[in-house]
């Protein structure tokens, strides 16, 4: 059977037996056509491939700068096709047994632009209610101190050290000390004196939690997501972000303004520097500054 007829039969199989969408079938077909064309260029037959040939094809894809995610998808298409060939007795052995997909690329963190961050905080400070004071402190901690949202909502009042530092219990119960910025200090002081007592009075049970919800109880991660969505609906940002985006922005903006990556590693509580280095990939300002400083043609 010619390759074109075989691919056509496989497309019918995907539609009638696997019930895939038209777009999925088109994507599968495109991946298989690319593979068949490569085989023909190498004077190879689809029914005679082995692990060595598959590795050569993966090398070909890498050379052409195809992402790991795309390579994983193409491998999935080929695996499905060769399982079909095995079921239909076109081949006797599956050459993809034991062939592993490359680890997928981790998506780069979403970073809020500095101008957008300024607009967001301007919106935060338009009100001075107890809940507004709570929100001001919350986002000063997420962006001003780079805390994980789980760390921020887990804070107790006694985790504050003289209003100058915060004792954080991070991943794996690892503790670190994070300084309170000059911007955050008066916000914290005002919240402890006004906002928190007003919120705590709404609860029948006393709590040591620092960040409280409208019922006077510890704020949850879901509560933080709700607060972010509320401010976005009110026009504080024009695009959706997660609570973690504020931590990402903290690290990236520090890099943009010349902070040492080892210092940022300590502030974020990363065990490995390689985890922190992802922020060097999302900092175009830092890239441009390094280029302008180091390029001989100025």
Among residues 196, 218, 247, 253, the one annotated as catalytic is: 247
Helices 114-124, 221-233: crossing angle, 10 deg rounding = 100
Among residues 83, 104, 171, 202, the one annotated as catalytic is: 171
Identify which of 21, 23, 25 has the alpha carbon closest to the alpha carbon of residue 81: 25
Among residues 74, 196, 270, 286, the one annotated as catalytic is: 270
* 148 tagged catalytic: yes
* 218 tagged catalytic: no
* 270 tagged catalytic: yes
Alpha-carbon distance values, 63 to 59, 92, 103, 260 (Å)? 6, 31, 17, 34
Among residues 57, 82, 143, 279, the one annotated as catalytic is: 279
Q: Where are the alpha helices (DSSP H) in the chain?
A: 3-16, 22-41, 51-63, 68-87, 114-124, 130-139, 149-154, 184-190, 196-200, 221-233, 244-256, 261-268, 273-276, 284-294
* 247 tagged catalytic: yes
Task: Indicate the burial class of 187 (C-beta count within 10 angstroms; 0-12, 13-18, 19 or more).
Answer: buried
* 134 tagged catalytic: no
Q: Which helix (H) or strand (E) covers residue 179, if one does?
A: strand 175-179
| SS3 category, 279 | helix
The pair of structure tokens assigned to 74 is 């193409």
Beta bridge partners of 169: 175
Among residues 74, 134, 148, 253, the one annotated as catalytic is: 148
Residues 6+ apart with CB under 8 A from 288: none
* 279 tagged catalytic: yes
How far is it, in rounded angstroms, from Cα 42 to Cα 33? 14
Residues taking part in catalysis: 148, 171, 244, 247, 270, 279
């Amino acid at each position: 059977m010619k390759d074109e007829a075989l691919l056509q039969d496989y497309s019918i199989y995907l539609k009638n037996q696997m019930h895939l969408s038209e777009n999925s079938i088109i994507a599968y077909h495109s991946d298989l056509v690319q593979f068949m064309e490569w085989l023909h260029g190498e004077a190879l037959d689809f029914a005679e491939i082995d692990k060595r040939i598959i590795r050569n094809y993966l090398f070909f894809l890498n050379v052409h700068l195809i992402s790991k995610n795309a390579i994983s998808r193409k491998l999935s298409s080929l695996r499905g096709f060769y399982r079909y060939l095995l079921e239909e007795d076109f081949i006797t052995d599956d050459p993809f047994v034991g062939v592993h997909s490359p680890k997928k690329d981790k998506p780069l963190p979403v970073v809020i632009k500095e101008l957008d961050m300024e607009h967001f905080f301007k919106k935060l400070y338009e009100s001075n209610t107890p809940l507004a004071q709570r929100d001001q402190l919350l986002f000063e901690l997420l962006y001003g101190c780079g805390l994980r949202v789980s760390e921020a909502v887990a804070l107790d009042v006694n985790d504050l050290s003289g209003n100058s530092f915060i004792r954080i219990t991070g991943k794996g119960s690892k503790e670190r000390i994070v300084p309170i910025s000059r911007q955050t200090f008066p916000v914290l002081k005002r919240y402890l004196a006004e906002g928190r007592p007003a919120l705590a009075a709404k609860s029948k049970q006393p709590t040591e939690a620092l960040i409280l919800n409208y019922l006077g109880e510890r704020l949850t991660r879901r509560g933080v997501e709700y607060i972010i969505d509320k401010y976005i609906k009110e026009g504080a940002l024009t695009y959706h972000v997660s609570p973690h985006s504020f931590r990402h922005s903290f690290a990236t903006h520090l890099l943009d303004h010349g902070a040492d990556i080892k210092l940022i590693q300590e502030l974020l509580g990363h065990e490995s520097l390689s985890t922190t280095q992802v922020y060097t990939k999302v900092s175009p300002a830092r890239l441009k500054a390094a280029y302008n400083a180091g390029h001989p043609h100025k």
